[in-house]
Chain A
Amino acid sequence: MISQQVLGMNGDEAVAYAVKQCNVDVVAAYPITPQTIIVEKFSEYVANREVHTEFVPVESEHSALSACVGASATGARVFTSTAANGLALMHEIVYIAASLRLPIVMAVVNRALSGPINIHCDHSDSMAERDSSWIQIYTEDAQEAYDSVIQAFKIAENHEVLLPVMVTLDGFFISHTLQNVSVLPDKEVLSFIGERRVVPEIDVGGKKFKLKLDPVQPLTFGPLDLYDYYFEHKRQQVEAMKKAPKVIEKVSREYASLSGRSYGNGLVEPYKLEDAEVAVVCLGSTSGTAKYVVDDLRKRGLNVGCLRVRTFRPFPAADIKRNLTGKEVVGVLDRSISFGGLGGPVFTEIEALFSDETEKPKIINYVYGLGGRDMSPQLIEKVFMELNELKGKPLPKDTLRFSGLRE
């Protein structure tokens, strides 16, 4: 493990700092609360020429991601960041970036989607992109946001993967909260991810062509692709997602030996789960509070634990199942909701995981924190208490519940 400097930074600053260290060629971004600090901070690095990066201060998020696509297809290492309405505006290009297999890294500072317009945290923005073939890493604090941006470049640019990566951090809870963040020396970051992006080679009529826009070896990107090939190309994205977990775990291990920091196996992070009878599952900053409540309740003699899902895409099905099997009651905390669906997106997937099991936990869905409503230790404790009540009882009818809501 290497000696590291500790800097007082909020989550946004930590992200910008990581990007500064990653030798990024192009950053194209547009301001939106609570992501703005990333753009502002990075503009300072550019203005002071602390980076060689070409910063493109675009006129919209749609253009931000469009410019990232152009730059990445030219072979550049590329970063952008956004939130909520900005991500929704990018939606069309979110899919295009992934289908072109461009290893773009994007920080999404989670914020509730309009309407009504709101600037605070929930996961409705990134959850709306969960089927887009981007890898999604949900971080717990500023330190992890920093670490994950660095890891994201290494994961995205891996030739087995070649998928864009979203690193999410909860708006305000992480983005605007000051924390001591340990940072690696610049050169260690670069030797970890590689000085520059290495573009794969493809075979074109027996010749090796670099997979990028290059006048010497002209290639066509983004052609019209109809029913005779489109399906196979989508299948390739499925394969890339299948290969991603191994790469994420490997990157996570390597990063741990460099920095001394790890977040479970990189996919999920169990906390005091082994002997727990009752567990909650959550994403993002809520897990920090949940761990605190677990400690507190354990002192009071309750057998509880917590599972944090770090990568929602690829969905770590086996890891989640292994960790939750044998638990009597599980509460899945969702910071977004699928209107008209069974419940939140995390719940529906976990519920599906156990659908063919006879011995399965009783799974209750708690939708919480929409529009930035605080998920306090008291509320999480209440969830645990309600779940604890269900021990030895049949699964109740109301599996969709709301936490911290005035009815």
Chain B
Amino acid sequence: MNLKKVALRESWISPGHRLCAGCMAPVIIRQALYALDKKPIVTNATGCLEVATTIFPYTAWRVPWIHNAFENAAATASGIEAALTAFKRKGELKEDIPVIAIGGDGGTYDIGLQALSGAIERGHDFLYLLYDNEAYMNTGIQRSGGTPFTAWTTTTPVGTKIKGKVQWKKPIAKIVAAHRQIKYVATASPAYWLDLMQKVKKGVDVKGPAFIHAISTCPRGWRTDTKYSVKIARLAVQTCYFPLWEYENGKYKLSTPSKAIASNPEKKLKVEEFLKMQGRFRHLFKPRKDVETLNYIQEEIDKEWEKLLRLTGEA
């Protein structure tokens, strides 16, 4: 990847789309597309990104792009890849065209999980890029399988008896990594944009299915200040709430920002630092600090981090 060249190239997702200020989804997509030297065919699940980039007759996409439905980005990608394979078999197509499926957390953890798992099991050569804003944002902030424990959403309100989401987030990237056919899995954060780009490049270059799970700050849904979106995406990594790692050839490996924490555990910030910037966790801090719950969350984060250290051979 030649960054100088990249900097001079036009972005393959144009400005002028209608995503909110501070939304990290278009940042993730812009960087992901900058990582490629050839235009891919992109298929996008229903969700904020799809809706806000393509209000007819406008489009922000400078790559061939198709939206089919909410739960079938991976299945649509299967079909695109199958068509390209058939054209090659007939000798009508020579070059490799990357195929990328993009979905939000709802379209990936929940309604689209079956199609995703099926496409991976069949071994299609495509990259699935999950931008995880941790709720159904397009329909107005409802909980998903990717919404974290205690987070407020409109379907996990902070009531007098039940406060926010009762369940933990699904380990989606590890679920994907459990598929024998998967060739590459990585987590990413737009705050570490070069790391994200390198991972996208790897994911596209491997032959077979690849999956990238990117954390995507959503100021509307997370109740955060738009100017802190990148900072929050960085804190997610620094607190080990969202560690960065890769999985390849059956092995887990920490990525540089998380490896730095593994080597210098004192660099690990308390998860509170990540939570307290977000209105969706306000009930953990106001009217009084809910020390018990915060301690519990910290313990769970620590346990998960320890598990990851063992998986990556860092423990």
Residues of A within 8 A of B218 (CB): none
Output the nearest chain B residue to A92 by Cβ-Cβ distance.
Answer: B69
Query: With A63-B75, A226-B55 as given contacts, are A96 and B68 in contact (CB-CB < 8 Å)?
Result: yes
Residues of A within 8 A of B43 (CB): 70
B114 adjacent to A74 (CB under 8 Å): no
A69 adjacent to B67 (CB under 8 Å): no
Query: With A70-B77, A220-B54 as given contacts, are A59 and B72 in contact (CB-CB < 8 Å)?
Result: no
Residues of B within 8 A of A57 (CB): 122
Of B38, B83, B114, which is within 8 A of A75 by CB?
B83
Residues of B within 8 A of A25 (CB): 82-83, 86-87, 90
Query: With A74-B41, A223-B56 as given contacts, are A69 and B79 in contact (CB-CB < 8 Å)?
Result: yes
Residues of B within 8 A of A222 (CB): 54, 66-68
Output the nearest chain B residue to A68 by Cβ-Cβ distance.
Answer: B79
A218 adjacent to B118 (CB under 8 Å): no
| Residues of A168-221 contacting chain B, CB below 8 A | 196, 213-215, 217-221
CA distance A229 to B57 in the complex (A): 8
CA distance A28 to B118 in the complex (A): 13
A60 adjacent to B67 (CB under 8 Å): no
CA distance A92 to B63 in the complex (A): 26
Output the nearest chain B residue to A213 by Cβ-Cβ distance.
Answer: B64
Residues of B within 8 A of A63 (CB): 72, 74-75, 78, 114-115, 118-119
B210 to chain A, nearest CB (A): 18
For residue A93, CB closer than 8 A to chain B, the reply is: yes
Residues of A within 8 A of B121 (CB): 59
For residue A327, CB closer than 8 A to chain B, the reply is: no
A31 to chain B, nearest CB (A): 14
For residue A391, CB closer than 8 A to chain B, the reply is: no
Output the nearest chain B residue to A69 by Cβ-Cβ distance.
Answer: B68
Residues of B within 8 A of A71 (CB): 79-80, 82-83, 86
A95 to chain B, nearest CB (A): 10
CA distance A222 to B62 in the complex (A): 15
A224 adjacent to B68 (CB under 8 Å): no
Q: How many of chain B's residues touch chain A, expressed as a range?
A: 35 or more
Q: How many of chain A's residues touch chain B, expressed as a range?
A: 35 or more
B76 adjacent to A70 (CB under 8 Å): yes
Output the nearest chain A residue to B117 by Cβ-Cβ distance.
Answer: A59
For residue A225, CB closer than 8 A to chain B, the reply is: yes
B86 adjacent to A26 (CB under 8 Å): yes
For residue B105, CB closer than 8 A to chain A, the reply is: no
CA distance A64 to B72 in the complex (A): 10
CA distance A59 to B80 in the complex (A): 16
For residue A66, CB closer than 8 A to chain B, the reply is: yes
A26 adjacent to B71 (CB under 8 Å): no
Q: Interface of B with A (CB < 8 Å)?
A: 38-41, 43, 50-51, 54-59, 61-69, 71-72, 74-80, 82-87, 89-90, 92, 97, 114-115, 117-119, 121-122
CB pairs A–B below 8 angstroms (30 shown): A25-B82, A25-B86, A25-B90, A52-B86, A54-B89, A59-B121, A60-B114, A62-B72, A62-B75, A63-B75, A64-B75, A66-B75, A66-B78, A66-B79, A67-B78, A70-B66, A71-B82, A72-B83, A73-B66, A74-B41, A74-B83, A76-B79, A93-B72, A215-B40, A215-B64, A223-B54, A224-B50, A225-B56, A226-B56, A229-B57
Please give me the 5 A-B residue pairs with the lowest Cβ-Cβ distance, nearest first: A70-B79, A59-B118, A67-B79, A223-B54, A63-B75
With A25-B86, A56-B82, A96-B69 already in contact, 11 other A-B pairs whose C-beta atoms are closer than 8 Å? A54-B86, A57-B122, A67-B82, A69-B76, A76-B83, A76-B87, A93-B72, A96-B68, A218-B62, A223-B54, A225-B56
